[in-house]
Structure 1
Amino acid sequence: MPALLPRSGPPRLLAVATLITMTGYGVYLTAGVLYFTRAVHLPAGQVGAGLTIAGAVSLSAGIPFGHLADRHGARTVYALTLVLGAISMAGLCFAGGFWSFVVFASLGAAAQTAGPAARSPLVQEYGGERPAEFRGYLRSVTNLGIAFGALLAGWGVAADTRNAYLLLIAASAVSYTASVVVVQFLPSVPPKPAGAGPRWVALRDRPYLVLTVLDGVMAIQYRVLTAAVPLWLVSRTTAPNWTISGVMIVNTAIVVFFQVRASRRIDTTHAGAVAFRRAGFAFFAACVAIAAMAGAPTWLALVFLLAAVVVHTIGEIWQAAGGFELSFTLAPPHAVGQYQGLFGMGLGLGVTLGPAVLIALCITWGTPGWWVVGGIFVVTGLAVPPVVRWAERDRARRAVAEPQVA
């Protein structure tokens, strides 16, 4: 466990703020839909539509907040995203209809997307020579916080009363507020001076844009275990329903204990590109194992499931560590927040579209769909190394041209 803790001082404070925030977010993730349907009494179709709208709104929040963090101080802007999260959770406690639900859910989704982008200059500053490794620490903390939040929400879900659900959403608002207090103890990071060139430089960086799209396609994998596998287990296999919870427990435990170790080893752009390639093959192997569960005896289906979850999670760790390294290293120092905001858009798009893609291919089509999805992951992983080489050439070209411009 000590190896999972960052060094004392600002890194540990930022980790504590992240843990508190993500615990509240885990409560919302677990109990939010039930609160909207059973306490606010919204139809399930309206809840689904509202959350889709909120996800679409949130995609555009990362770049502007990341840019504000670069130019006006990351600590203040990051605290602002937490304040917005607290307001959204508090507002949801008073939501009485569809549109009030959409407004506050969209505000919360935007705050959740903007937070990592605004936090990126802090990660860059406190991470020293290895910001990607420190980002790996924070990912482990994020998963741990969500797991804690899910456990806390279990009480309210078991009680299944309006007051219990209200208390959970209010507790989520309190967690965001507590994180704001913790962030105030962080030393401020001075704004970065603007570099030569256009203001929205990230949107003009074509190799980085392509890399963002590839990471977005690969990010569909985050919905494999949370959306596709539960439906597959229930509809196409003889595995008991309790295995759905087991899938998430195994996935979370592996990420918490091994993400930091993987991030330490992936310390160059070449290593990051190779990690993406390996992740693509790992996801393919997991998809094949999941497909093989259909029609298998229960004991064999459980063996396939355990193997698939472990291999898939290893691929998830590789992809995340590679993404941390590439997204930080290929971003110019004066625009880390803006670049991280752009990179987060790819992740958000993949996570948003993932359920629809996976249900259409894997659940509706069946076994062939799993092979197709696995093939998409392999092709995407193979495409990352040449794009990274293109980005390095482009970065070297700009490094030669910028002094001449100055």
Structure 2
Amino acid sequence: MLIAPYVTAAATLRASRAMRTLALLTGVNALGNGLFATISILFYTQHLGFSVGVVSVALVLATVLAIGGDLVSGRFSDASSPKPVLLAGLALSALSTALLLAVWDEASFVVALCLISLGQGLCMSSNTTLIRRLAHENPALARASLRSLLTLGVSAGALLAGLVLASGELAAFRIAILGNALTFVIAAMLLLGITVPPAPPGAPGRPRPVLPDRRFAVFSLANGAIGIYLHVLSFALPLWAVIHHPELIWVVGLLVALNALFTATFQVPASAGIESVAAASRRLVVGALRLALSYLFFLSGWSSSPGVLVLVLIVFLAAHTAGEVLYSAGTMELLFRLAPAQQQGQYGAFYGISNGLMSSVAPALLGAAIALNGGWGWWLLAGATILLALLICAVSRGAGPQDALDTITA
């Protein structure tokens, strides 16, 4: 039973040369992303010498540009082709990442982060639109398959990051950043070899706004709020380790790598068998419950014996990873089922904006939850995650033109 989803997913990726190239592109880019995400916060604060406040402000400004880039990406991808937009995003990401090595003051640091985020914003909706056009009948499973490759790349990158963190040398951080920039260049070269099908019939040159679709808007905004879980391993866990167990900071890279490895292993099976909006919603809620449970790990420093600490870390990782794969399986299916094929770019842009808004405040919220006594911040995050998941479940089951059959048969 566990093998069948992989067979279907592999067939989806083998269906065309373009999908195989996109899979390779995804893995290469993920390698650099996993490396950079794990070392970036320590590079900014320890080696560049900026305070957490300066970094937080820079990240907020960068998120605004990422949102703008995502909007542009969605409109142009729908109206013409996602390929040139994605290519521009990869090129800008490569140049701006390398620019980090030339940062000399706060202003140049903010500029570099903003350009990196703008490049990533251009990649967001264009990548979603590209998957939908290349995958044809089963975009959600194709995206799950690509996400497995992405997480394998992130896992490998995080393992490399562990070596960088263990070294602690500025030269190691610089080499890692250049390596990340190089992965964008390789990804752009691979993208040049992909032939993209034309826009689906009925795709307008100037797509109508997404905001009137209240069901998709509520789904996107609630999902963006729940998406704070994406920053728990890369942001909250390192801070928790520094505060409670500084001697175990090296474990962060290992946990990120294991999370990525397990996510890659189980994402396709978790995404299999979802054939309706109702099924996607149920899987999403189950995942949210597990994510909420994982937040309770941070309620104390767990400063008892090393054996207990290791056991608790294993339980935390298992709960967080299970929640991530199940929740992602549901959201990926809803992203494609609730959005018209001819407007995937614009709907994907709104979806990306919702995630981007929460990304900008995630460091502050997670930092506050760690700093505040009593652990009530983590209880609030856990409760909000469950309630928002139930809200998504409720609004997604509302009948829409393209999902009427799903609602009837659910």
> Does TM, scored on the shorter chain, surpass 0.5?
yes
Tell me: CA distance 1:370–1:170, structure 2 relative to 1, closer, same or farther (3 Å): closer
Range 160-169 or range 270-279, more displaced: 160-169
Q: Residue 131 of structure 2 aligns with which residue?
A: 123
The amino acid of 1:393's aligned partner reads G
Relative distance call for 1:98 and 1:291 in structure 2 (3 A) is: closer
CA distance in 1, matches of 2:154, 2:162: 12
Shift of 1:59: 2.5
* Residue of structure 1 equivalent to 2:400: 393
**Stretches of structure 1 lacking an aligned partner (at least 5 in a row):** 398-406
Deviation at 1:252?
A: 1.6
Distance 1:161 1:250, change over 3 A: closer
2:221 is aligned, of 196, 213, 218, to 213
Alpha-carbon shift at residue 171 of structure 1 (Å): 2.6
Deviations 1:290-320 (A, max 9, x none): 5377465543343333222212211111111
Q: What are the superposed Cα offsets for residues 110-151 of structure 1, whole Å, 9 maximum, x if unpaired?
A: 222331310122211222321011111222222222232333
Number of the residue aligned with 2:283 = 275
Residues 1:285 and 2:285 aligned together: no
CA distance in 1, matches of 2:237, 2:169: 29
Determine if contact 2:36/2:177 at 8 Å carries over to the other structure.
Answer: yes
Secondary structure of the corresponding residue to residue 61 of structure 1: helix
Contact 1:35/1:166, CA 8 A, preserved across alignment? no
* Contact preservation (8 Å) 2:65, 2:121: no
Query: Identity of aligned pairs, percent?
Result: 27
Amino acid at match of 1:88: S
- In the alignment, which residue of structure 2 is the partner of 1:326? 334
- What is the DSSP-based 3-state SS (H/G/I as helix, E as strand, rest coil) of the residue aligned with 1:203? coil
3-state SS of the aligned residue for 2:103? coil
Deviations 1:40-92 (A, max 9, x none): 55556434432332123212321220211111212222112111112212333
**Segment drifting more, 2-11 vs 71-80:** 2-11
* Alpha-carbon distance, 1:258 to partner: 0.5
Aligned position for 1:402:
none
For structure 2, the residue ranges without an aligned partner over 5 or more in a row are 405-410
Shift of 1:191: 3.0
Instruction: For 2:45 and 2:371, locate their aligned partners in 1 and report how far apart those are by CA, in whole Å.
Output: 25
Aligned to 2:196: 188
CA distance in 1, matches of 2:352, 2:154: 19
**Is residue 84 of structure 2 the alignment partner of residue 76 of structure 1?**
yes
- Name the amino acid aligned to 1:68: F
Q: 1:96 to 1:285 in 2, by over 3 A?
A: closer
Q: In the aligned structure 2, how far is the partner of 1:78 from the partner of 1:241?
A: 35
1:282-321 map, 5 Å: 282-291=290-299, 294=302, 297-321=305-329
Q: CA deviation at 1:37?
A: 5.2
Give the conservation status (yes or no) of the 8 Å contact 1:216–1:347: yes
The 8 Å contact of residues 269 and 388 in structure 1, kept in 2 or not, is answered as yes
Deviation, structure 1 residue 34: 4.8
The equivalent residue for 1:170 is 178
Partner of 1:257: 265
Give the direction of change, closer, same or farther, for the CA distance of 1:60–1:275 in structure 2 (3 Å limit): farther
What secondary structure, in the 3-state scheme, does the structure 2 residue paired with 1:366 have? helix
Match of 2:274 in 1: 266
RMSD value, Cα: 3.0
Give the SS at the match of 2:197: coil
- Please name the residue that 1:17 is paired with: 25
Q: 2: distance between equivalents of 1:105 and 1:238? A: 27
Counterpart of 2:32, as a letter, is: G
Match runs of 1:27-42 below 5 Å: 27-36=35-44, 42=50
Structure 1 residues 16 and 372, CA gap change in structure 2 (3 angstroms): same
